[in-house]
Structure 1
Amino acid sequence: MTTVALLLLGAVLAFAIASPRGLPEAVVAVPAALAVLVLGIVTPSAALEEVRALGPTVGFLAAILVLAHLADALGVFRWLATVLGRGSGGDPRRLLVLVFAAAALCTAVLNLDATVVLLTPAVLATAVALRLPPRPHAYASVHLANSASLLLPVSNLTNLLALQASGLTFLGFTALMALPWAVVVVLELAVFAVFFRRDLRRPAEPVVPAAAEPAPRTALVVLGLTLTGFAGSGLVGVEPVWVAVVGAAVLAVPAINAGATSPRQVLREASLLFVVFVLALGVVVAGVTSGPVGRALADSLPSSTSLLALLGTATLAAVLANVVNNLPATLVLLAALGGGAPAGLVLAVLLGVNIGPNLTYVGSLATLLWRRVLLARGLAPSVGTYTRLGLITVPLTLVAAVLALWVGLRVGGV
């Protein structure tokens, strides 16, 4: 039965990665989940428990995606593009630094999908307007969509899963991941400056950037208050999902009144079919982890938070993310760790599944989505460039992030 579960998981992932005719991932994931139930690989009670466990997490994801859409509808990313252009002064190196800052902040606050889908087009438009090579800035968007999603629980679905498994509060999670996040962003920037040095040469006659648009103050204030609400929600016993829902509801009023979006579009941006996909994927993964594969992983994972244990766990997570994609890798490894695992090991898994996808296209769905965004704009990304860049950044940043996490755990006494 384990073989059947693995085959079903492989079929779900292959369909999600290939996305034939743009069909939603749930088209295959739901029948696969039903199959593991009918075949008795997963009991109905276990499947229901899995759905209940994932429910608040994917609900939060839907709310964050709506929040990002409303921010875009109210002009946040158009404004940001002009700010990047003016701030760079036509200098590609300065623009790269600003893109890194914008991508790191956007990923942390609004989720990595917002960086890929909304910020990347703004970055490309800025580079084109300044007549600068877009390559460094385009690759910066996708790298930081993955690796800069380490900071906050809201930054990535994998983070939300890890937060639930770690037992940490929102602020506790952020405190432990702040140093690894900062180290990774700085190291990536240094590598990009060298790797793309030819593209980053200052042009002989820099283009004068266009004047910046007025700041969308309402949207920026609501986003700031929402982020503050995330940080304080644990102190008052409120689930972060409700903070996200309130923030989205507040932004929806001016966005709909201005005709920038519609109730139907807002509902579409919640990606309800993707939510169904994640729930179904969780059931299929439960069929894998309940058998010999899950037991083998559980036996191979350490139980301590020594430096070597953290490094080994993060490396395994990174490899697995590039084999089966980072979302199922997270589900599999967290299930293998089991309840009550040290928070440090859970966060080590997170380092691997968030940084690891910078090595191959299949590492995360966000990377595949980024590729489609570029192709839609006539820019074909290079597999060779992506892989060479990943071979440099992933080992370097993964080791540095693990060291930073180990220091944070020792200082914090976790």
Structure 2
Amino acid sequence: MITVVSLLLLVGVLGFAVARPRGLPEAVAAVPAAVIVVVFGLVSWRDAVDELVELGPTVGFLAAVLLLSYLADEAGVFKYAGAVAARWSRGSPQRLLGIVFVIASVVTAALSLDATVVLLTPVVFATASTLGVRPKPHVYACNHLANSASLLLPVSNLTNLLALSAAGLSFVSFAGLMALPWLAVIGVEYLILRRFFAQDLGTPEHSAQVEQERAPKFALVVLGLTLAGFAVAGPVGVHPAWVALAGAIALGVRMKKPVTTLVRKANLGFCLFVLALGVVVLAVSRSGFGTLVDRVAPHHADLLGLLAMAGLAAVLANVLNNLPATLMLLPLAAHSPGLVLAVLLGANIGPNLTYVGSLATLLWRRILHGRGQPPVTGEFLRLGALTVPACLIVGVASLWVSLRVSGL
């Protein structure tokens, strides 16, 4: 009964987050569900408080990064990136795809997958329109790279932040271990998308007049210093959330944004949703379903163990969404940094298989519907079926090499 109730609550919370009836925030369903979990004894109030305390710094960082991404967009960073892509592509769909891959990978790694989905995707649409090329390959690249290119840094994805403390790694060590998988996965994504969308990319080049955009130098410098701050914050005992907040404050003060606007753009409602979701997932983890997952989860970080853990994470991401999947699997993998990173491979690459794999994919789908160019479900699934298994295999193999080289 406990298993049934906890799973129903989780499904209800995720279903509400997907549908968002009347535009209501995700927390409207998540907070009552978390209260029910505690009131009915599925999770003790003490354990619920411990979970919230553990998630607190990570959620604080999420708020700061969301604010930083918004201010970077307001400063013209993404508009400038679009102008650079249009100019360097010289009207070639193939060159534009390569440039979009580079920009989307960097944006995802530095500013998180939400920035790529929410802020870069519309810019890519506009760039394709300016050049007169078909937008589909480039827009799909934004979605796939928002997930799979979020492997590099702890700040690239909320799942990474959750895993950083579980793995016991520093910011630099995390990035060093994930650099090779990141590059390998992006390379596989590019080769498959280039082949999959060959017809769309085979259209003739179009020469177009592209307006010269001034580089937002102050914003770019602040972003660069913020990234450098992430690298040095850990060794001196400063949580990355404070570094991200400092970068956001620097941009906010320079742009003279009202405090009320800054608070709104930090999306505190979504942060509350993540906290409440953590309590609900804790109940699922302690139910019979959690016991089943524990039994099938590998406990050794050899090549087969890494592949099994990544595959399990990918399956759970497409069944439960990648955030609950990560919260459920991290305690089972915490004894091994390699297994923790394998969880991230599955949780970050796996969502490219179905719409429900990550909230970012659902948001990307909503953006395309809003522009009157909804993705074709069959096409989305076929592309996911090609990329996800290939990227998981290459990513796991690359991670195994990185772990062997580092001695972990």
2:90 aligned residue: 89
Q: CA deviation at 1:209?
A: 3.7
Look up the equivalent residue of 1:36 and give its one-letter code. Answer: V
Q: What percentage of residue pairs aligned between the two structures are identical?
A: 57
Tell me which residue corresponds to 2:59: 58
For these two proteins, the number of residue pairs brought into alignment is 407
- Does structure 1 retain, via aligned residues, the 8 Å contact 2:105–2:149? yes
1:299 positional shift: 2.4
Tell me which stretches of 4 or more aligned residues in structure 1 moved more than 6 Å: none
- The alignment partner of 2:326 has SS state of helix
Residue 118 of structure 2 is matched in structure 1 by 117
- Out of 319, 342, 347, the residue aligned to residue 341 of structure 2 is 347
Q: 1: distance between equivalents of 2:328 and 2:73?
A: 34
Structure 2 residue identity aligned to 1:234: G
In structure 2, the partner of 1:141 is: 142
Corresponding residue number in structure 2 for 1:263: 259
Q: Distance in 2 between matches of 1:132 and 1:57?
A: 40
Looking at structure 2, the residues matched to 312 and 157 of structure 1 have their Cα atoms a distance apart, in angstroms, of 22
* Correspondences of 1:92-241 after superposition (within 5 Å): 92-203=93-204, 206-241=206-241
SS in 1 for 2:177: helix
Post-superposition shift, 1:383? 1.0
Using structure 2 for the length normalisation, give the TM-score: 0.98
Please say if residues 294 and 336 of structure 1, whose CA atoms lie closer than 8 Å, have aligned partners that are also in contact. Answer: no
Please give the residue correspondences for 1:18-33 in structure 2 after superposition, counting only pairs within 5 Å. Answer: 18-33=19-34
Residue 11 of structure 1 is matched in structure 2 by: 12
Distance across 2 between alignment mates of 1:74 and 1:130:
24
Residue 393 of structure 2 is aligned to residue 411 of structure 1: no
Contact 1:289 1:335 in 2 (8 A): no
Shift of 1:229: 0.4
Tell me the distance in 1 between the aligned counterparts of 2:91 and 2:262: 36
Distance 1:368 1:291 in 2: 28
Asked if 1:311 is matched to 2:300, the reply is: no
Cα distance between partner residues in 2 of 1:164 and 1:278 = 17
Give distance in 2, aligned partners of 1:47 and 1:133.
49
Other-structure match for 1:283: 279
Answer yes or no: is the 8 Å Cα contact 2:151–2:345 preserved in 1: yes
Distance in 2 separating the partners of 1:381 and 1:266: 32
Aligned to 2:323: 327
2:130–2:208 CA contact under 8 A, matched in 1: no
Residues in 2 aligned to 1:222 and 1:279: alpha-carbon distance in whole angstroms: 29
20-29 vs 131-140, greater mean Cα deviation: 20-29
Rounded Cα–Cα distance in structure 2 between residues aligned with 1:329 and 1:303 = 17
Which residue identity lines up with residue 347 of structure 1 in the other structure?
A: L
Deviations 1:58-110 (A, max 9, x none): 10010000000000011111111111100100000000000000000000000
Deviation for aligned residue 1:2: 2.3
Check conservation: 1:230, 1:240, Cα contact below 8 A: yes
CA-based RMSD? 1.0
Return the offset for 1:202: 4.2
1:85–1:209 Cα contact (<8 Å) kept: no
What are structure 2's unaligned runs of at least 5 residues? none
- TM-fit CA distance, 1:379: 1.4
The alpha-carbon deviation at position 20 of structure 1 amounts to: 1.5
